[in-house]
């Protein structure tokens, strides 16, 4: 009846006939470093594992001395690579680490305002097809959807859709609700080598308008060329 995904893994556009039925309440969207020992980001010999182009690009931008190595597979597979000694730490989403009860291995938390997470990180999304019985769909949404999470994730996804960013593009976006009812959206794009990082923040109340407007500003501020250069390399 339904498919369950990490919201950050959803494509920016759903296939015809499919839609996101619900967004579960968001866990902390932060990136963290999981390690067997204490981590010093100033260590010139530090080696971190990640399979994310966004994390690699941002590490190159903020910490150009850090070496990154590929780390794919499920969490247990990545932890086995860590324990083998080929890296000092793994850069992961806290939400996944927490769900697997590995909080004790978290040695460093990245600042979300600086190290902006990808769209959707921290939430679980429920996907359905239009053929699903409408009454069943309504009941599933009622017990799984978190309205506040839904509002900010729809904002982030509107941004991602206009940026035309997939999993292989270092696009980032994070929306939060302010006390006055406005949505604060911070988003941007980084070049693969980390030398360019374009980031902006915008406020609004309409999810789609805000996400689209911020993407337009990023693209007009040099993001379009960065995106074009990335696509010429990965396609």
List residues with catalytic annotation.
Answer: 8-9, 54-55, 72, 78, 167
Among 160, 165, 140, residue whose Cα is nearest residue 230:
165
Q: In what order do the strands lie in the sheet with 2-6?
A: 2-6, 124-129, 18-23
Give CA separation, 122 vs 94, 116, 131, in Å: 8, 13, 28
Q: DSSP characters for 84-138?
A: TTS-SEEEEEHHHHHHTT-GGGEEEE--TTTSPPPTTTT-EEEEEETTS-HHHHH
Chain centroid offset of residue 170 CA: 9
Instruction: Record the tokens describing residue 207, joined without a space.
Output: 């999810």
Residue 188 to residue 218: CA distance in whole angstroms = 6
Each as own residue / partner, the long-range contacts of residues 219-227 (CB below 8 Å, 24 or more positions apart, any chain) are: 219/162, 219/163, 222/196, 222/198, 223/163, 223/188, 223/189, 223/198, 226/189, 226/190, 226/191, 226/196, 226/198, 227/163, 227/164, 227/165, 227/169, 227/189
């Amino acid at each position: 009846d339904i498919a369950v995904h990490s919201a950050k893994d959803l494509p920016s556009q759903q296939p015809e006939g499919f839609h996101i039925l619900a967004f579960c309440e968001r866990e902390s969207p932060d990136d963290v470093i999981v390690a067997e020992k204490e981590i010093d980001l100033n260590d010139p010999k530090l080696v971190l594992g990640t399979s994310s182009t966004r994390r690699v690009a941002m590490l190159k931008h903020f910490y150009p001395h850090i070496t990154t190595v590929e780390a794919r597979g499920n969490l247990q597979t990545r932890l086995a690579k860590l324990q083998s000694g080929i890296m000092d730490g793994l850069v992961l989403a806290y939400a996944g680490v927490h769900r697997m009860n590995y909080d004790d291995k978290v040695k460093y938390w990245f600042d979300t305002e600086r190290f902006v997470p990808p769209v959707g990180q921290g939430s679980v999304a429920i996907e359905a097809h239009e053929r699903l019985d409408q009454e069943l769909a309504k009941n599933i949404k009622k017990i799984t959807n978190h309205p506040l999470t839904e509002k900010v994730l729809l904002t982030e996804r509107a941004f991602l859709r206009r940026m035309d960013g997939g999993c292989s593009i270092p696009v980032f976006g994070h929306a939060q609700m302010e006390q006055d009812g406005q949505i604060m959206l911070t988003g941007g794009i980084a070049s693969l080598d980390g030398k360019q990082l374009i980031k902006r923040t915008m406020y609004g109340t309409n999810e789609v308008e805000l996400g689209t407007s911020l993407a337009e500003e990023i693209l007009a501020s040099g993001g379009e060329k960065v995106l074009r250069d990335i696509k010429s390399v990965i396609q």
